[in-house]
Protein backbone atom coordinates (compact mmCIF):
# COMPACT_ATOMS: atom_id res chain seq x y z
CA UNK A 1 0.00 0.00 0.00
CA UNK A 2 1.11 3.54 -0.68
CA UNK A 3 -0.20 5.20 2.48
CA UNK A 4 -1.77 8.08 0.55
CA UNK A 5 -4.60 10.05 2.16
CA UNK A 6 -6.53 10.54 -1.09
CA UNK A 7 -6.24 9.89 -4.81
CA UNK A 8 -6.85 12.42 -7.59
CA UNK A 9 -8.17 10.40 -10.50
CA UNK A 10 -7.51 11.09 -14.19
CA UNK A 11 -10.97 10.71 -15.72
CA UNK A 12 -11.14 13.59 -18.19
CA UNK A 13 -10.99 16.76 -16.11
CA UNK A 14 -8.23 19.35 -15.79
CA UNK A 15 -7.64 22.58 -13.91
CA UNK A 16 -9.17 25.76 -15.33
CA UNK A 17 -12.08 26.42 -17.65
CA UNK A 18 -13.02 24.31 -20.67
CA UNK A 19 -13.63 25.39 -24.26
CA UNK A 20 -16.16 22.54 -24.53
CA UNK A 21 -17.85 20.15 -22.12
CA UNK A 22 -15.28 17.64 -20.85
CA UNK A 23 -15.76 13.94 -21.54
CA UNK A 24 -15.67 12.28 -18.15
CA UNK A 25 -14.85 8.57 -18.04
CA UNK A 26 -17.43 7.44 -15.49
CA UNK A 27 -16.62 3.78 -16.20
CA UNK A 28 -12.96 4.30 -15.29
CA UNK A 29 -14.03 6.05 -12.08
CA UNK A 30 -16.27 3.12 -11.14
CA UNK A 31 -13.44 0.67 -11.82
CA UNK A 32 -10.99 2.70 -9.72
CA UNK A 33 -13.48 2.89 -6.85
CA UNK A 34 -13.75 -0.92 -6.89
CA UNK A 35 -10.03 -1.44 -6.28
CA UNK A 36 -9.00 1.60 -4.23
CA UNK A 37 -9.93 2.14 -0.60
CA UNK A 38 -9.00 5.82 -0.21
CA UNK A 39 -11.05 8.99 -0.78
CA UNK A 40 -11.17 9.97 -4.46
CA UNK A 41 -10.60 13.55 -5.64
CA UNK A 42 -12.03 15.24 -8.73
CA UNK A 43 -9.65 17.95 -9.98
CA UNK A 44 -10.78 20.68 -12.34
CA UNK A 45 -14.51 20.61 -11.58
CA UNK A 46 -15.11 24.37 -11.84
CA UNK A 47 -16.55 24.25 -15.34
CA UNK A 48 -17.98 20.72 -15.22
CA UNK A 49 -21.78 20.48 -15.47
CA UNK A 50 -23.48 19.92 -12.10
CA UNK A 51 -25.03 16.63 -13.20
CA UNK A 52 -21.56 15.28 -14.06
CA UNK A 53 -20.24 16.29 -10.64
CA UNK A 54 -23.22 14.63 -8.95
CA UNK A 55 -22.54 11.43 -10.90
CA UNK A 56 -18.88 11.38 -9.83
CA UNK A 57 -19.99 11.75 -6.21
CA UNK A 58 -22.40 8.83 -6.67
CA UNK A 59 -19.43 6.83 -7.97
CA UNK A 60 -17.24 7.57 -4.96
CA UNK A 61 -15.63 11.01 -5.31
CA UNK A 62 -15.42 12.63 -1.87
CA UNK A 63 -13.51 15.84 -2.68
CA UNK A 64 -14.35 18.16 -5.56
CA UNK A 65 -11.86 20.91 -6.47
CA UNK A 66 -13.43 24.13 -7.76
CA UNK A 67 -10.68 26.71 -7.15
CA UNK A 68 -11.10 28.41 -10.54
CA UNK A 69 -14.79 29.00 -9.84
CA UNK A 70 -13.96 30.49 -6.44
CA UNK A 71 -11.24 32.73 -7.91
CA UNK A 72 -13.65 34.06 -10.55
CA UNK A 73 -16.32 34.79 -7.91
CA UNK A 74 -13.78 36.47 -5.63
CA UNK A 75 -12.36 38.63 -8.43
CA UNK A 76 -15.88 39.67 -9.45
CA UNK A 77 -16.73 40.67 -5.89
CA UNK A 78 -13.52 42.68 -5.51
CA UNK A 79 -14.14 44.48 -8.81
CA UNK A 80 -17.72 45.26 -7.76
CA UNK A 81 -16.53 46.58 -4.39
CA UNK A 82 -14.09 48.99 -5.99
CA UNK A 83 -16.39 50.05 -8.85
pLDDT value at residue 38: 94
Which tens digit of pLDDT belongs to each residue from 42-62? 999 999 999 999 999 999 999
- Determine contact, residues 29/58, Cβ cutoff 8 Å: no
Rounded CA separation 46/35 (Å): 27
- Determine contact, residues 17/47, Cβ cutoff 8 Å: yes
pLDDT-based confidence at 1, cuts 50/70/90? low
Does the pLDDT value for residue 15 go beyond 90?
no
Amino acid sequence: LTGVDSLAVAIGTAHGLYSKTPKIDFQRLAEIREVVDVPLVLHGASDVPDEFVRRTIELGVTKVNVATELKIAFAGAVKAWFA
